[in-house]
Amino acid sequence: MPKRLSLQPSRDPADYPFSHRLRTRFAETDAMGVIHHGSYLLYLEEARVAYLQHLGHPYGEVRDDGVDMAVLEVSVQYRSPIRFDDEVVVHLWAGSVTRTTFQVAYLLTVEGEPRATAVSVHGGVDRSGRGTRLPAWVGEILTS
């Protein structure tokens, strides 16, 4: 059973220890002329992967060690539209770490302006798809 989201994503970039820049794709727009709301989940994931790389634990290696970090829950608040070719900065902060789950809070900005906030909950999953303990470094790094 997923645990409830508990992190509160701030709208101040200074509250986040890590950020990742990306440029939106034309394919990610929709007929409203803006980035489709579903594409935001791809931006969050890309930023998480960049954060794991930054921490010295590339997600490919984590998976090779037999643990996936499945998404148990995600919530996005869309504040103002993101457009084609915008440079988006995804600010993120990880916390609420337990032996089996952790959470990530996100702020998406374009030219310094908040466009969306989000929270995701992740849980360790082994190769057979069952819930499992996260690697020890998760607790050590993300709570420090």
Question: Kindly report the CA angle at 72 between 36 and 99, in degrees rounded to 5?
Answer: 140
Question: Which ranges constitute the DSSP H helices of 22-67?
Answer: 39-54, 59-64
126 is a catalytic site residue:
no
* Residue 142 three-state SS: helix
Are residues 69 and 45 in contact, defined by beta-carbon separation less than 8 angstroms?
A: no
Separation of alpha carbons 57 and 34, rounded Å: 34
Binders of a copy of itself in range 21-40 (CB under 8 A): 23, 25-27, 29-34, 36-38
Kindly write out the interface string for residues 60-99 of this chain, putting x where it contacts a copy of itself by CB under 8 A and - elsewhere: x--x----x-xxxxxxxxxx-x--xx--------------
Shortest CB 10 distance to a copy of itself, Å: 15
User: Which residues of this chain interact with a copy of itself, rule CB under 8 A?
Assistant: 1-2, 5, 23, 25-27, 29-34, 36-38, 41-42, 45-46, 49, 58-60, 63, 68, 70-79, 81, 84-85, 125, 129
